[in-house]
């Protein structure tokens, strides 16, 4: 079969177009899959952190996950709100919570400066003596999310300021 040069060039051109289109769509698909995987990892984090109930309707373009607060979420928010009531600069994102925008809620509490300032004020306002180092910005996160006292002296501070009930004597 003797093809003229014109046809040969045309065939090579067509082949290159075909490969180009294939690579373009393949690349777009890979990028979309990576974006979906990242979105699902973010949902997983937010579900775990805020003790949310979740319904995963779709995990591919578009990712569709419905989030609902559980009783544990309410407890987290109650601790957060109590601190915010006493220290208004410690923002409580009421509107974002009402909207169920948990990613927006999370961005508010991850303000390290706000956390640190509030912890410092709590140590200043407390009337109890404490031993050891003062808490850092993670101290409030540990308390609000997991009711964990790290360092342990924060428990006395929280009791003294009325956020937690006094310990029952054994």
Q: How far is the CB of 50 from other proteins (least distance, A)?
A: 9
Retrieve residue 43's tokens.
Answer: 């949902």
Looking at beta carbons only, is 48 or 110 nearer to other proteins?
Answer: 48
Stretch that binds other proteins, among 14-22, 55-63, 78-86, 107-115 (CB under 8 A): 55-63
Q: In the structure encoding, which two tokens stand for residue 90, read together?
A: 């410690």
Q: What are phi and psi of 93, to 5 degrees?
A: -80, 75
Subset of residues 99 to 118 that bind other proteins, contact rule: CB under 8 A = none
Q: 91: number of CA atoms within 13 Å, CB side?
A: 15
Q: How many residues bind other proteins (CB under 8 A)?
A: 22
DSSP assignment string, 91-104: ---HHHHHHT-HHH
Query: Which x/- pattern over 6-45 shows residues binding other proteins (rule: CB under 8 A)?
Result: -------------------------------x--xxxxxx
């Amino acid at each position: 079969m003797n093809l003229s040069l014109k046809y040969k060039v045309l065939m090579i051109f067509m082949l290159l177009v075909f490969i180009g289109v294939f690579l373009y769509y393949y690349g777009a698909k890979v990028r979309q899959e990576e974006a979906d995987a990242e979105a699902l990892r973010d949902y997983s984090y937010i579900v775990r952190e805020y003790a949310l109930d979740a319904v995963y309707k779709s995990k591919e373009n578009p990712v569709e996950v419905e989030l609902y607060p559980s009783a544990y979420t309410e407890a987290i928010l109650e601790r957060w709100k109590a601190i915010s009531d006493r220290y208004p600069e410690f923002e409580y994102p009421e509107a974002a919570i009402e909207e169920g925008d948990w990613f927006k809620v999370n961005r508010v509490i991850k303000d390290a400066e706000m956390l640190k300032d509030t912890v410092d004020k709590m140590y200043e306002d407390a009337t109890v003596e404490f031993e050891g180092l003062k808490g850092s910005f993670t101290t409030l996160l540990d308390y609000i999310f997991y009711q964990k006292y790290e360092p342990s002296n924060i428990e006395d501070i929280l009791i003294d300021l009325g956020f937690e009930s006094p310990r029952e004597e054994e």
